[in-house]
Amino acid sequence: MDNSGWRIRRPARGCRLSGVRAADISEDLSHVLYTAEELSTRLAAIAADIDRDYAGKDLLLVGVLNGAIMVVSDLSRAMTKHCTMDWMAISSYGSGTKSSGVVRILKDLTTDITGKHVLIIEDIVDTGLTLSYLVHNLASREPASLQVMTMFRKPDAATTVVEVAYVGFDIPNEFVVGYGLDYAGRYRNLADVATLAPHIYS
């Protein structure tokens, strides 16, 4: 089919909406780790790596709800290859900033992943407890391949045995919000990633 008459041109990789910016809620925040523009640039580079690594293969992105919604959304649109998506919801955190140590499936996949190339998309890996559980669970379903991409990784994650193929940023051991990451359900739609001001959780 001749698409030459189409008025929609391909935008630059990683083009995104601005949303709520750190400057809009600066009284709630301590400092900004990454701006929306920096997140977008990094994600575009990872998308290019994934495009290359999965060339010629059908790829299923498995987003871990709720935190990975922004990552899946932006990553998939920064990719130039067709992919499919599915979602899992897993609980490992309460409403505070400490891991509860309890992992359970709140929502399972709707797709049978047997024989498929699966890429788990995480927002953040902290202790690695959630990811470790997820990888073992999905591996038992016998996918053709199983890899992990996370937007952020904290230092403790390095001590877990789970291999992460694609990492957005290695960050310090601080509680961060924005770009899908929440504190008690808030700040997910902050476009930048920042630490919270102490008065928010004290």
Binding footprint of ligand IMP on the chain (CB under 6 A): 67, 92-93, 99, 122-131, 175-177, 181
Q: Which residue number, 20 or 48, has a Cβ lying nearer to ligand IMP?
A: 20
Closest CB 10 distance from ligand IMP, rounded Å: 32
Neighbours of 45 (CB within 10 A): 14
Question: Do strands 83-93 and 145-153 pair parallel, antiparallel, or not at all (unpaired)?
Answer: unpaired
Q: Which residue number, 51 or 99, has a Cβ lying nearer to ligand IMP?
A: 99
Helix residue ranges per DSSP H, the chain: 36-53, 69-78, 129-139, 198-201
Closest CB 183 distance from ligand IMP, rounded Å: 7
Query: To 5 degrees, how large is the angle CA 79–CA 74–CA 56?
Result: 20
49 is an active site residue: no
In sequence order, what are the beta bridge partners of 190?
20
CB distance 191 to 179 below 8 Å: yes
Q: Which residue number, 146 or 164, has a Cβ lying nearer to ligand IMP?
A: 164
Catalytic hit among 74, 123, 126, 192: 126
Max CA distance (Å), the chain? 60
Closest CB 24 distance from ligand IMP, rounded Å: 19
Active site residue ranges: 126
